[in-house]
């Protein structure tokens, strides 16, 4: 198991040679969209090249085994059975497809946390509006992560779903997903985890977390193509689901004139029209992460993020805004007298990629911390300490 502070041996030169973007860009926006490695680029471009010659339907028929590899590779890296995985356009699409397939009775409770994503909250509020469910937010503990003891005290026989964002888009937090899973393990409550920022940067296994539903995206720390994602649901969750929002003929069977039934396993979540080249690209990204090893990746990320936080915290006027007992590869900070967007623009002019995270993505978190925006620098294992020091030097030059 990876630990903070452990020196991790990864062949950085080889990994950077595998990443064409490293030659020209100091990329510290991996929580937005990481730089794809050559095997992913080749998988997508080769598929598109053949598709342009033979046709989209024809190559899909010819490359069925390559397309199916995405399910096996997701199961190998993250757990679960291949038939319980579905390929979708994004983590948001996956999360909402699974959640929208659940059926609530008036008064059923959904518990979430202060790290919830806006798109997930929209799905929860839709269930409140249409089906009469209710939503409540569990408090944080002294570290800024979900208070597991307080969450336990909120559980009752009307609690239907606990929704947890494993790593939010802001604040560096890693929520205690496994502790929440242990709390819910012997209950009838479904446990849904948004892992869009954790898959690819941390070891994530559905069996270890103990969740019933999990979704992730390809473009972030997994280093896959944009327009790709996956969602997993175990058999217990699937048995409680009907047709999800957006279901089409790929995920359902039209058995009678007025009867449409969901397909087997997780296929009900997968639309017919997806990014087929991206599907083989995501399969390559999953295999690439597995080959490096998630323990190695997580350990390297912890080294890099810890170094960046330490260096930034030593600068006058800089406040590192990260929360959590354990912290992720996402480093957020503010600089007195300087707008985060202006800092991002200044860094971009120096070929340093960062992003800005705002209250619109952290409505349950930022306002109570008196934050409107923060600069977000998200490191990944192919980054170097020199790249981090270049960002720190640029911040130090601000008046």
- 140 to 76, 112, 121: CA distances (angstroms): 33, 11, 17
Count Cβ neighbours within 10 Å for each residue of 357-388 and write b for 16 or more, e otherwise.
bbbebbebbbeeeebebbbbbbbbbbbeeebb
229 and 297 both lie in a single domain:
no
Find the domain containing 362 and state its range.
Answer: 12-36+293-396
Last residue of a domain, one of 232, 257, 291: 291
Residue where the block lists tokens 């999800």: 244
pLDDT tens digits, 152-175: 999 999 999 999 999 999 889 999
60 and 120 both lie in a single domain:
yes
254 and 380 both lie in a single domain:
no
Query: Residue 394: what pLDDT?
Result: 98
Question: Does 1 score more than 70 pLDDT?
Answer: no
**Rounded to 5 degrees, what angle do the CA atoms 76, 87, 377 make?**
80
Among the listed ranges 2-11, 92-101, 333-342, which one has the minimum average pLDDT value?
2-11
Question: Does 16 score more than 70 pLDDT?
Answer: yes
Side-chain half-sphere exposure of 122, counting CA atoms within 13 A: 10
Question: Does 8 score more than 80 pLDDT?
Answer: no
- 342 to 29, 321, 355, 387: CA distances (angstroms): 16, 18, 11, 20
Q: What does the mean pLDDT of the chain come to? A: 95
Q: How far apart are the first and last CA of the chain?
A: 43
258 and 278 both lie in a single domain:
yes
d(CA 222, CA 287): 10
Query: Residue 162: what pLDDT?
Result: 98
d(CA 271, CA 145): 35
Dig out the tokens for 276 from the structure: 């087929």
235 and 158 both lie in a single domain:
yes
Query: Residue 2: what pLDDT?
Result: 35
Name the band, by pLDDT with cuts 50, 70 and 90, for residue 211. very high
Query: Residue 171: what pLDDT?
Result: 84
166 and 255 both lie in a single domain:
yes
Q: Tell me the mean pLDDT in the region 186-212.
A: 98
| Residue 6 within a domain | no
Query: Residue 3: what pLDDT?
Result: 38
Percent of the chain past pLDDT 90, that is, above it, reads 93
253 and 298 both lie in a single domain:
no
- Structural contact between residues 245 and 97, judged by C-beta atoms closer than 8 angstroms: yes
pLDDT tens digits, 18-58: 999 999 999 999 999 999 999 999 999 999 999 999 999 99
Closest CA to 124 of 206, 192, 218: 192
pLDDT tens digits, 105-133: 999 999 999 999 999 999 999 999 999 99
Other beta carbons within 10 Å of 188: 10
β strands within the chain, DSSP E: 26-27, 85-88, 109-112, 134-137, 159-165, 190-194, 213-217, 229-233, 252-256, 259-262, 318-320, 330-335, 352-353, 355-358, 373-378
Other beta carbons within 10 Å of 214: 35
- 191 to 187, 206, 239, 328, 339: CA distances (angstroms): 10, 11, 14, 22, 38
**Helix (H) or strand (E) run with residue 399 in it:** none
| Residue 119 within a domain | yes
**Helix (H) or strand (E) run with residue 118 in it:** helix 118-131
**Helix (H) or strand (E) run with residue 58 in it:** helix 56-62
| Residue 3 within a domain | no
174 and 266 both lie in a single domain:
yes
73 and 182 both lie in a single domain:
yes
d(CA 69, CA 63): 10
- 399 to 71, 311, 315: CA distances (angstroms): 51, 18, 12
Question: Does 10 score more than 90 pLDDT?
Answer: no
Bridge partners of 88, per DSSP, are: 229
Domain count, the chain: 2
| Residue 238 within a domain | yes
Last residue of a domain, one of 222, 257, 291: 291
137 and 63 both lie in a single domain:
yes
DSSP string, 304-333: HHHHHHHHHHTSTTEEE---SSSB-SEEEE
Query: Residue 210: what pLDDT?
Result: 98
| Residue 135 within a domain | yes
Question: Does 275 score more than 50 pLDDT?
Answer: yes
167 and 183 both lie in a single domain:
yes
pLDDT tens digits, 349-385: 999 999 999 998 898 899 999 999 999 999 999 999 9
Q: What is the CATH number of the domain that holds 284?
A: 3.40.640.10
Q: What is the CATH number of the domain that holds 378?
A: 3.90.1150.10
Question: Does 86 score more than 60 pLDDT?
Answer: yes
- Structural contact between residues 228 and 282, judged by C-beta atoms closer than 8 angstroms: yes
d(CA 235, CA 241): 10
């Amino acid at each position: 198991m990876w630990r903070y502070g452990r020196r991790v041996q990864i062949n950085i030169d080889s990994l950077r040679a595998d990443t064409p973007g490293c030659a020209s860009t100091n990329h510290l926006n991996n929580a937005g969209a990481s730089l794809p490695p050559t095997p992913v680029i080749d998988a997508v471009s080769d598929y598109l090249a053949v598709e342009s010659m033979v046709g989209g339907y024809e190559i899909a028929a010819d490359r069925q085994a390559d397309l199916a590899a995405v399910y096996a590779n997701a199961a190998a890296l993250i757990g679960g059975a291949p038939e319980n995985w579905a390929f979708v356009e994004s983590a948001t699409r996956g999360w909402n497809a699974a959640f929208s397939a659940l059926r609530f009775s008036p008064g059923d409770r959904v518990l979430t946390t202060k790290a919830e994503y806006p798109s997930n909250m929209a799905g929860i509020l839709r269930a409140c509006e249409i089906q009469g469910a209710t939503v409540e937010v569990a408090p944080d503990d002294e570290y800024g992560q979900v208070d597991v003891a307080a969450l336990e005290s909120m559980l009752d026989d009307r609690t239907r779903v606990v929704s947890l964002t494993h790593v939010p888009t802001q604040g560096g937090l890693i929520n205690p997903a496994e502790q929440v899973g242990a709390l819910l393990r012997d209950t009838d409550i479904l446990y849904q985890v948004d892992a869009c920022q954790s898959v690819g940067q941390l070891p994530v296994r559905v069996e270890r977390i103990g969740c019933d539903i999990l979704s992730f995206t390809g473009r972030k720390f997994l280093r896959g193509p944009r327009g790709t994602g996956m969602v997993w649901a175990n058999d217990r969750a699937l048995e409680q689901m009907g047709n999800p929002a957006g279901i089409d003929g790929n995920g359902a069977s039209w058995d009678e004139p007025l009867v449409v039934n969901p397909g087997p396993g997780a296929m009900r979540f997968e639309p017919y029209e997806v990014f087929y080249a991206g599907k083989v690209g995501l399969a390559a990204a999953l295999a690439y992460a597995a080959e490096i090893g998630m323990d190695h990746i997580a350990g390297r990320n912890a080294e890099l993020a810890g170094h960046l936080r330490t260096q930034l915290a030593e600068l006058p006027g800089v406040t590192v805004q990260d929360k959590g007992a354990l912290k992720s590869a996402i480093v957020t900070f503010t600089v007195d007298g300087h707008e985060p967007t202006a800092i991002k623009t200044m860094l971009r002019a120096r070929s340093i990629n960062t992003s800005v995270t705002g209250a619109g993505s952290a409505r349950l978190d930022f306002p109570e911390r008196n934050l409107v925006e923060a600069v977000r620098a998200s490191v990944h294992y192919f980054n170097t300490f020199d790249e981090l020091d270049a960002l720190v030097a640029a911040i130090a030059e601000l008046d």
